[in-house]
Structure 1
């Protein structure tokens, strides 16, 4: 589990709530019309842009990415793929049947090799799964980006509504306070939702997209090398290109 995400979200709200309590009453910052405008408006606008199934999938993907632990690094994958290549060179493809593999995508590729599938089938199947996974991440990013854009926009809409109500009731001092509360709190709610929840999740999904694209492409190339019974040294030499330039020498020294 990625504790940093929970700490960041909870910490941001705790800081805001603490500042509220220091400066006055928490009840002053709770306003039902403002909540309805921001939460309801942002949700409705997102429903207009996307299908309900896409939104449901995006929330599942977003929660999984936000709370997921650290993924396997390319260096670990290269070392593991080279080890699998050594097993194939010594015992043949059937030697992979009882091997524990850390990454589920790599495990599926290893199973394809052990089952004796042709290279073209293995590459096509794994590339299709990679592309579908990246498509889900991309769609999730679009949904959270829409929510991140809509929340501040409806906060501004709520501000305008509150100002109109306030100006329309200038002769009634009792009505000015609630109208002003709507005007200011909708902006607050929209800014909090966008900058603490939705937009950070967009960045998380972007990072996950880049990491998955790199790792799964590396795995596909590695599985193809294993299927061709290439030597572990050659596999490492070919896959090290996936590492940043400054990490390649370190990896080679460690190897």
Structure 2
């Protein structure tokens, strides 16, 4: 579980809820027609904007935002250096069993191609296609929430306009103007809440998660290429450590 994302989401609702309670309470901010217009309308528009297969996995993408896959990059660097040491000592064919038992699908695919004697350009091309297509899918999934943020604000404004029309039609009774105006503005509130609490933040964190995965895959590609080329393990380690922040660049040869 990503503690930062969870704390941020809880803190937003806690602060907003506290501000409401110090005013008129939460009750006046609950309006079912506004929910139907803002949330229901924006979700219906999302169904038009994206493939049904993507929408079916909406909660899966939410799970990635709050519980992302963990990448132990320093451990991955050590593993690749160990593979390079073994390949340099015993030959690349000695990695065949290791490749078959590798848990990381992307690394297993690259190692298997290297052991099978595929051309370096072919290996790099296939792995980069895999990486780019995966990154493209992740960006498209993040785009759902980005679009949802925009649609939430738009449908909030639509709800406000609907409420204003209803209010203007009852101007003969001044006592109804205040409550009607409040209800009209609630849809704008819901739209802003949907866009700035759910849509935009989740789209942003999903893009960050996609970038993390792409970085790991790029590191693996460089590792596979060096292993196949028979590079010195120290040289490989220096290359791979460049992917890490300076504070995490710990060499196993020191």
TM-score between the two structures when normalised by the length of structure 1:
0.83
Matched, 1:30 2:48: no
**Hey, what's the Cα distance between the residues in 2 that align with 1:21 and 1:69?**
37
Unaligned runs of 5+ in 1: none
Q: Report deviation, 1:29.
A: 1.3
Aligned to 2:157: 156
* 3-state secondary structure, aligned to 1:25: coil
Change (3 A) 1:65 1:132: farther
Change (3 A) 1:249 1:52: closer
Unaligned runs of 5+ in 2: none
**Hey, what's the Cα distance between the residues in 2 that align with 1:249 and 1:4?**
21
**Hey, what's the Cα distance between the residues in 2 that align with 1:57 and 1:139?**
12
Aligned to 2:188: 187
Kept in 1: contact 2:241–2:249 (CA 8 A): no
Aligned to 1:82: 81
Q: Which moved more, 1:36-45 or 1:168-177?
A: 168-177
**Hey, what's the Cα distance between the residues in 2 that align with 1:94 and 1:177?**
79
**Hey, what's the Cα distance between the residues in 1 that align with 2:120 and 2:62?**
34
Aligned to 2:125: 124
Q: What is the RMSD computed on CA atoms of the aligned residues?
A: 2.9
**Hey, what's the Cα distance between the residues in 2 that align with 1:4 and 1:189?**
24
Aligned residues: 252
Aligned to 2:199: 198
Aligned to 1:53: 53
**Hey, what's the Cα distance between the residues in 2 that align with 1:80 and 1:60?**
30
Kept in 2: contact 1:62–1:140 (CA 8 A): no
Matched, 1:167 2:173: no
Aligned to 1:222: 223
TM-score between the two structures when normalised by the length of structure 2:
0.84
**Hey, what's the Cα distance between the residues in 2 that align with 1:61 and 1:117?**
35
